[in-house]
Amino acid sequence: MKILAFSDVHMNVDFMQDVVKQSEMADVVIGAGDYASFGVGGD
């Protein structure tokens, strides 16, 4: 079983695009949180 786990994205779009590509090979994908940056991009 292949597990892809990630955390601390902090609105990093490039990182998340890589996660999406890598998730194609994973059986389970776990996002452990910290997806946003406080006070940034909230408009």
Domains of the chain: which residue ranges?
1-34
Is 70 exceeded by the pLDDT of residue 3? Answer: yes
Q: What is the mean pLDDT of residues 1-20?
A: 92
pLDDT over 90, % of the chain: 60
Q: Residue 29 — pLDDT band, cuts 50, 70, 90? A: very high
Q: What is the mean pLDDT of residues 7-14?
A: 87
Is 90 exceeded by the pLDDT of residue 20? Answer: yes
Is 80 exceeded by the pLDDT of residue 6? Answer: yes
Contacts 24+ apart (CB under 8 A), 7-16: 7/31, 7/32, 7/33, 7/34, 8/34, 9/34, 9/35, 9/36, 10/34, 10/35, 10/36, 10/37, 11/35, 11/36, 11/37, 11/40, 11/41
